[in-house]
Amino acid sequence: MSNIKALGRIIHRLSRLVNSVGIGIIVAMMLLTTADVFLRYLFNRPILGTVELTEFMMLLVVSLGIAYTQFNKGHIFVELITSRFSPKAQAVIESIGYFFCLVIYLLIVWQAVVQAQVEWFHGIKSGALEIPKYPFYLLFAFGCTLLSLVFLVDLFESLSRAVRK
């Protein structure tokens, strides 16, 4: 169990760092949008590709912040029925949920990496700015991998509660 706690501490630090990068991207997105609005209305000269950059930034914000949110249990968790069960049954149900989440996000990681390879091989770029798309798929896969690791730690913790009680 101490290995799981050590892994949890490492993942928590990494997810907090990655979340901080996401916060920085939110600030950049806010400044870009503000500058675009001012330039559009004051000088009739919007910034080319603002919508495109904002789309990429939103993807990064979500994928880089999702693991930290899960680590802090900030996602919606409905306990209407399960709260009436015993603590052991709750831990078993949580374990099943974390297992399915882990499997689903590992599939998402796999498909994001496959898509990044396809985008890289074919040289697919974005619309107006012609930014290569594959790095964004890889960063999305990284964020989902980090989330998968958080689910793995949560799975082991809930399994230990289920066995312990």
pLDDT in tens, 125-150: 988 899 999 999 999 999 999 999 99
> Are the C-beta atoms of 74 and 150 separated by less than 8 Å?
no
Single pTM value for the model: 0.89
String of DSSP letters for 81-135: TGGGS-HHHHHHHHHHHHHHHHHHHHHHHHHHHHHHHHHHHHT-B-SSS--BSHH
pLDDT in tens, 4-46: 888 889 999 999 999 999 999 999 999 999 999 999 999 999 9
pLDDT in tens, 85-109: 888 998 999 999 999 999 999 999 9
